[in-house]
Amino acid sequence: MGFVQPREPEFDSQAWPSLPYAERLRLMCHTWAMQGFGAPGVAYLFYLVKLLLFVGGFLAFALTTDEVGGITAIGSWWSRPEIFAKAVLWSLIYEALGLGCGSGPLTGRYSPPITAFRAFLRVGGVRLPPWPRVPMTSGSRRTVVDVGLYGALLLLTLRALVAGDPLGSRWIVAPIIVVMVLAGLRDRTVFLAGRSEHYLLAAFVLLFPSNLFAGEQAVQAALWFWAATSKLNHHFPNVIAVMLSNNPLFRSRRLRRLLYRDFPNDLRGSTGAAWVAHLATALEYGAPLVLVFAPSGPLRTLTLVAIVGFHLTILTSFPLGVPLEWNLFFIYSAVVLFGQHGDVRIWDLSNPLLIAVLIVCLVVIPAYGNVRPDRVSFLPAMRYYAGNWATGTWLLRPGCLDRIEQALPCAAATPAHQLERLGGDGDLTVALGRGQAFRAMHLHGRALAALLPMAADGVVLDSRHTDPATQLDPAEIELIDGEMVAGMVLGWNFGDGHLHDERFLAILQERCEFEPGDLRAVIIEGQALGSPYLNWRLVDAADGALGSGAIAATDLLGLQPWDATALDVGIERHER
């Protein structure tokens, strides 16, 4: 791994673009298994600097708290209620600025690496109201009202961070919650970017100081519980293999081979990867049970050590969504809530309003989101990184991506133009190919291998199968993850396929006036809890819905990431 230049892929990159799509994908999956994203060392240095900024910012604001006694006395104040409150609020504003999840080169953001605050402070940009029928929220253009709400969120949170005692008055924290809710009703991107399902709810708990630690324990335990529940699927063993293959500290090729059943012939997750997946799920279920119900003693201490190690493993693996600071906060909050304040118990909650809100946000919404993932973002549904989320891959005719950049006030340029600004000759086709390999090596990638050629081949909806020899020539069709386009236009995305679904396509169509076939999207919805199927849709920006269907997850288990032969994609024709 070079410090400035990315690693060269393990094939002839000059001949690679002319190969059939399935062969290109196969070679890139082999490279991913041994290299991960192949990012240069400077990319990881960027994230290390961000982690230092996150910790340093927290300490700086903590020192403005009354009676802390300076940094040398940190041992006496690091777990105080006021300090924990500032950790919550600092994390909220840090994520809302776009400094945390979904930032930097590992997410396709090269220049600039952070774009959220630029988009959210720009009049005329694109916004996505979650429920446009709510009065005064319809439309897709960011107005002065939206910019004002976002600016107010930043200023109000900053005011609370420099307050001597942020818990001293509800008028310090309450306006933050009100403004974020209003901003979220106007634009769900802002609401999701702040990781509101975690930090905004944790900020709401701050309004009840007498119930603070009990309420925060409930939030923390629920996050673990639903994260574990999201892993109850066939997807997760592949996730472990893909994630560890991108770990810059996990360098041994021999150990990387052990993540797969038979490298390079069989790139399904190995039995060892499956065991790691099962242990991770068991830990996320078991840890909150022990920390909530077990008495103080060696078992709780051992469990805390295990859960801290679990989050450190995720952090050092640099998953492509880079939720690094989020995992760092998990470590801090676990030690504060269940270590230093382990004498407090969830059943100490006494405020009826707080209990009601926690039940809705920690039980009702996640439960509904797990059975109807098409209606709830994976974030408030707490369906975290388990290889099972809504995704979309776009097929564009040459020049159409540039047209999006020209027609809309984007937060960032196209990936090609971003790389040009860096002054390198970066092979964008290879860079995007790495992202396609990442997607393909998850279980839904097997479905994409069948659906993409169909989308490119005139959408043959009267046939149950597609021709696997279809080439998807990069000179004729530009393949890009919808997430990257959403990040480019909206300024932020963290793997939420609902931010680049039909509603987003309609906005682009309105402003770009694509011809039929210019832009098509293959959209795969996350698998619902208890359902055997992954539902998919094929959409043309100009013509609308072209087809839909369902694929049984078990039918994907025997396929390689590049293998689309004999796959029943369950086509249902949609008349134009």
Question: Looking at residue 246, what is its pLDDT?
Answer: 86
Say how far apart CA 435 and CA 431 lie, in whole Å. 7
- pLDDT above 50 for 469: no
CA pair distance 564, 535, nearest whole angstrom? 17
pLDDT at residue number 460: 37
Find the range with the poorest average confidence among 2-6, 58-62, 161-165.
Answer: 2-6
68 in helix, strand or coil?
coil
Mean pLDDT in residue range 396-408: 94
pLDDT, averaged across the chain: 90
Q: Give pLDDT, residue 20.
A: 84
**pLDDT > 70 fraction of the chain, expressed in percent and rounded:** 93
- Range with the lowest mean pLDDT among 59-73, 133-147, 338-352, 443-457? 443-457
Q: Report pLDDT for 6.
A: 77
* 175, two tokens: 């306006």
pTM of the complete model: 0.93
- pLDDT tier at 459 (50, 70, 90 boundaries)? very low
The predicted pLDDT at position 458 comes to: 55
Split at pLDDT 50, 70, 90, the class of 426 is: low
Q: Region 286-313: what's the mean pLDDT?
A: 95
Residue 404 host element (H or E): helix 400-407
**Is residue 570 pLDDT above 80, yes or no?**
no
Tell me what the mean pLDDT of segment 16-24 comes to: 85
Q: Which of 545, 554, 557, 535 is nearest to 503 (CA)?
A: 545
Spatial distance between the Cα atoms of 443 and 119, rounded to a whole number of angstroms: 33
Q: What is the pLDDT of residue 468?
A: 43
- Give pLDDT, residue 172: 97
pLDDT of residue 467 exceeding 60, the answer is: no
Question: 436, 479 in Cβ contact below 8 A?
Answer: yes
Distance CA 547, CA 454 (A): 11
Is the alpha carbon torsion for 485, 489, 495, 496 positive or negative?
negative
Q: Is the pLDDT of residue 388 over 60?
A: yes
Q: Determine the pLDDT at residue 474.
A: 66
Token pair of 250 as six digits: 């996990």
